[in-house]
Amino acid sequence: MTKKFDLKPTIVLSAICVVIVALLAVVNMFTAPVIEAAQNAAANEALLVVLPEGKNFKEVDLTGKNLPANVDKAYTEDGGGYVFRVTVTGKSAGLMIMFGIDKNGAIVGTKVIADEETDTYDVKVFPLVEGTDGGYKGMTLESFEPVLVGGATLTSKAYGEAAKIALGAFAALNGGEVDFRSPEQILQDNCNAALGTEGVTFTQWFTVTAISGVDKVYEATEGRVFVIGENFVGVNANGDVTTTEASEADKTTALNANAKIQSITLTDVTIPAGTSKEKAEVVSIKKTNEDAYIFELLGFGYQYTFDYGDYTPISIKLAIDAQGKILDVLTVSHNESKGYGDACAQEEYYEQYLGKGDSDIVESADKYPHNHGDDLIASDSTDVGAISSATYTTLGYQRAVKLAFSVFEVLTADEGGNA
Amino acid sequence: MKNSKLMILLRGIIMENPVLILVLGTCPTLATTNSLVSAFSMGIAATLVLICSNAVISALRNIIPETVRIPCYIVVIAGFVTVVQMLLQAYLPDIYKMLGVYLALIVVNCIILGRAEMFARKNGVVDSILDGVGMGLGFLLALLVMALIREVFGAGAFFGIELPFMEQIKIPALTQAPGGFLVFGLVIAVMNKLTEKRGGVKRKSFSCEGCPSAHICNKTSCSEMEETIQDAPEAKTMEGEDA
């Protein structure tokens, strides 16, 4: 005899579920508006900090708005103002900042929501730019100027970048045309456009010869792009100018520059004996047919000074012209402290060295002979090659550069060149 | 002796205190007793759920089939817990935030499901409500005792008010997990001492008949335990208790 299927348990359980759901629906009817009002009040409180006159904030759906990924959230309010939450990377790890912008597109207030910046930098930057009386108050996209703080450049640049993104987002949401590409992206796009390529990554050419009329050179396997003023002029691997809209003068400049680069030859040079220096080392030397020298160097910075187990020296590439001036310098690799010595890898750091001679660079330890980098006095920020709050990295770098000049002096003396 | 309504009410407070005697609901006990405010809030929330679920389950005891009784109990209990959550979130948001995840965990609190299984499904609505009140008050009392010790001697405060004279002698470890377990153990020990002369726990509550796992456990062990206890001279069983 087969067992009869009993529907009763299913019916009872289902009925209980229905009744409970009905009870919850009734309670929800009364409590949901109260909860929503409380949540809105809490959210509004945060938004009012940066836009005190704002009324009735509503979150904006950013789907399809083509805003950069840095813009996490956006709120509009009845008066036409907006609040944007923007995340950027500063010196250390990340900054999440809220910007209140009024209906005219001017910043009303800013507030850091979360930051992982090194304490010394946020303490310097935030008081100057936060709040409704900060450095960015009243700025619009047209009048925008980043507020840079000495000794905390990267953090303050990041803050400025976030402010500009917020202003751009406001313009974009109000129908304006805004270019949100990062400077690096714009550079790559311009290079690709000049050379007639797509998706190619260009790197800056390491300068081993002076090229007149050209500000910068970028190269890829497909060719080179010469930056002449504000114009990008491409010359492909065959030596043909690819930028048809360039002026004849620019085309000529680019072709001449390309020819000059192609004429450069390199020969290996033996490292002279007895030229080693404490806390710096020459790895290799090459010489160009224009008597410029290209050094690969090792600088021993913070990690070495304190004898950390897996220390990696700072690897530096340096070019000195026949007149003893620095043509170019590049930090190839390093393992310096994040938030401090890692600034040695930033382009704005190398720029300090360009065009400088031996006498222009004074090791910070020489200025403080009692110090020799042994205590924590930061190097003088006006020193060439100084990194604020990174004394040992500074000394490691400066000593490597000074070593290159010492060796250059020996090499050119041997040849009867300039000392 | 006929079981009195008062006895049902009082049983849960002392003789069969769910936390200190039956050792049920230890998770919220340890989690919410580092302050008197959160202990009080948890106790009241659990008591409300216990009373309501006991009442409903008792009212439906003749309708709910055996095969789906546990799912039905869970649905009822979860429903009331959700109601309490919504009410707290709307009208007492600070308490809601303070209780956090432990509010939702009331659903799986052994006390509530245990009393539904052991009492509410076998007794009338009034008795079940009284049992819920008694057990709830017992739970609340246990939480308050624990919280009093941990907050006063651990944090040097009473209901959030700093006690200056405790500043130098407070033991912060009491507000942490190890301290919580220590206090819990000590309070249980004290409770056992206080109740041993009154006959201790009613062992019949642990008999196979009252055990939810009777159908899968080794019944020989439970019976042997009962025989041993019944032979003990101090052991007494409460009359009128349902088997």
Q: What is the pLDDT of residues A335-393, one digit of tens each?
A: 777 666 777 777 777 778 888 898 888 776 655 544 444 444 444 555 676 666 677 78
Task: Look at A27 and B75 and tell me if their CB atoms are within 8 Å.
Answer: no
pLDDT tens string, chain B, 243 residues long: the values are 445 888 888 888 888 889 998 888 899 999 999 899 999 999 999 999 999 999 999 999 999 999 999 999 999 999 999 999 999 999 999 999 889 889 999 999 989 999 999 899 999 999 999 999 999 999 999 999 999 999 999 999 999 899 988 888 889 999 999 999 999 999 999 988 887 765 555 444 445 655 656 555 655 555 555 555 554 444 444 333 333
Q: CB distance B89–A35 less than 8 Å?
A: yes
Q: What residues of chain B lie within 8 A of the CB of A8, using their CB? A: 65
| Chain B CB contacts of A32 below 8 Å | 86, 90
Q: How far is CA A195 from the centre of its chain?
A: 25
- Note the pTM of the prediction, 2 decimals: 0.52
- pLDDT tens figures, B33-79: 989 999 999 999 999 999 999 999 999 999 999 999 999 999 999 99
Which of A11, A28, A31 to mutate against chain B (most B CBs within 10 Å)? A31
Query: And the tokens for B104?
Result: 């939702």
| Per-residue CA distances from A246 to A53, A211, A225, A239, A253 (Å) | 50, 19, 12, 15, 11
Q: Do A16 and B72 touch (CB under 8 A)?
A: yes
Separation between Cα atoms, residue B102 and residue B120, nearest integer Å: 24
Q: Could you tell me which chain B residue has the CA closest to the CA of A20?
A: B79
Q: Of A9, A17, A31, which has the smallest distance from its Cβ to B90's Cβ? A: A31
3-state helix, strand, coil in chain A (%, to 5): 35, 20, 45
Q: Distance (Å, rounded) from C-alpha B186 to C-alpha A60?
A: 56
List the single residue in B with minimal CA-CA distance to A21: B79
Place of tokens 């089939």: B65
- The C-alpha atoms of residue B71 and residue B12 are separated, in whole angstroms, by 25
